[in-house]
Amino acid sequence: MAEVLVAVEHAGETPKKVTLELLTLARSLGEPSAVVLGGPGDTEKLVDRLGEYGAVRVYAAEHEDLDGYLVAPKATVLAGLVRSINPAAVLLPSTQEGKEIAGRLAVKLDNGLLTDVVDLAADGTATQPVFAGSVIVTAKVTKGLPLVTVRPNSVTPSQAPVAPMVSTVEVELTDADRLVRVVERRAEQKGTRPELTEASVVVAGGRGVGSAENFALVEELADLLGGAVGASRAATDSGYYPHQFQVGQTGKTVSPQLYIALGISGAIQHRAGMQTSRTIVAVNKDAEAPIFELADFGVVGDLFTVVPQVVEEIRKRK
């Protein structure tokens, strides 16, 4: 069976959920091979988990410069690997870095690229939601192999354990790969919450939340549901919540099982980032708020009375 390359994205010692989703998708296309692009020793920590999700082979490309310089070194290594093994397809996560590596790969290999894909068939036909999910397109790479970036939460990850064969990849870089040096990397505390784009539950707050302090209420509900916290642009612009949690056209696109919008009006640019969520719940004191047009369940009311009751009721049931 033909190899399907999956570029592994990992946080510390574990592959991100999107990587497990990609491996699951890869199994329907051929034989999944995971490619670890990281620092010395990274592969060893990841290999078991990659095997659980069906990575028949794990390519270990390890070099401190893969971490120490932005994007270009990863693209160079991946391009070399694609040239030498000629896989049936290459899958990357549709995250900022995934898209950037893919963009460089496309130029290096003069190969077409499809981004924000939610499904890929064995014949290379990709499904892409465009214009904020209002139009669904099917598309195909016509030059080269299917090179696609896949959106987090598009596939349900499932296990298919194998014992992976690990091969070391020679990392050969040139000065052109070392143009952008990382001088500092700082994690911003978000506790134990799942990552916004990967979470199966997102609780988001808008201008109606009213202040940074009040966002504690949004966080409380998110934590009870094991979810991530999101925010509208009005909320991030007002400094209620950090910008990296903004959902919408100029923020993150999320597609969780459950999206709860608190004090968010539902502007088209906000909907752009969340309207493909499976179930949408809204609390808003304005009965005419457009968010209700897409909510499966809406409560017209003051979030400061409704949400504490929700929290209390969930606690009672636990």
Ligand X SMILES: Cc1cc2nc3c(=O)[nH]c(=O)nc-3n(C[C@H](O)[C@H](O)[C@H](O)COP(=O)(O)OP(=O)(O)OC[C@H]3O[C@@H](n4cnc5c(N)ncnc54)[C@H](O)[C@@H]3O)c2cc1C
CB of 294 to other proteins, least distance (A): 4
Judged by beta carbon distances under 5 to 8 A according to partner kind, the member of ligand X, other proteins, none in contact with residue 172 is: none
* Partner that binds at residue 136, options other proteins, ligand X, none, CB closer than 5 to 8 Å by kind: other proteins
Tokens of 111: 């190969």
Kindly indicate which of the ranges 41-49, 186-194, 217-225, 268-276 contains the residues binding ligand X, using the contact rule CB under 6 A. 268-276
B/e letters for 115-134, b = 16+ CB within 10 Å, e = fewer, are: bbbbbbeeebebbbbeebbe
Binders in 215-234 for ligand X, by CB under 6 A: 232-234
CA distance 300 to 281: 11
Q: 120 and 146 in contact (C-beta within 8 Å)? A: yes
- The one-letter amino acid at 269: Q
Of the candidates 130, 163, 180, 314, which one interacts with ligand X according to CB under 6 A?
Answer: 130
Cα 278 from Cα 79, distance rounded (Å): 36
**Is 213 an interacting residue with respect to other proteins (CB under 8 A)?**
no
Q: Please identify which residue in 249, 258, 294, 311 interacts with ligand X, judged by CB under 6 A.
A: 249
- Helix H or strand E segment including 305: helix 303-317
Strand partners, 106: none
Cα–Cα distance between 43 and 222 in angstroms, integer? 33
Task: Determine phi and psi for 277, rounding to 5 degrees.
Answer: -60, 150
Rounded to a whole number, what is the distance in angstroms from the first to the last CA of the chain?
47
Chain residue whose CB lies nearest ligand X = 248
Residues 6+ apart with CB under 8 A from 170: none
Cβ of residue 90: shortest distance to ligand X, in angstroms? 14
Q: Using the rule CB under 8 A, is 2 a contact of other proteins?
A: no
Regarding 265 and contact with ligand X (CB under 6 A), the answer is yes
- What does the block give as tokens for 52? 């659980």
Cα(289)–Cα(270) distance, integer angstroms: 13
273 binds ligand X (CB under 6 A): yes
3-state class (DSSP) for residue 117: strand
Question: Is residue 192 involved in binding other proteins (CB under 8 A)?
Answer: no
Options 1, 84, 243, 286; binder of other proteins; rule CB under 8 A: 243
Pairing of strands 228-231, 147-150: unpaired
Q: How far is the CB of 75 from other proteins (least distance, A)?
A: 8
Cβ 168 to other proteins, closest distance in Å?
A: 26
Q: Which of residues 7-66 bind other proteins (CB under 8 A)?
A: 11
Where is 283: in which H helix or E strand? strand 279-284
Comparing CB distances to other proteins, the nearer of 125 and 211 is 125
Q: How far is the CB of 108 from other proteins (least distance, A)?
A: 7
- Of residues 286 through 305, those in contact with other proteins by CB under 8 A are 287, 292-302, 305
Residues forming the site for ligand X (CB under 6 A) = 113-115, 130, 206-208, 232-235, 246-251, 263-265, 267, 269-270, 273, 283-286, 289, 302-304
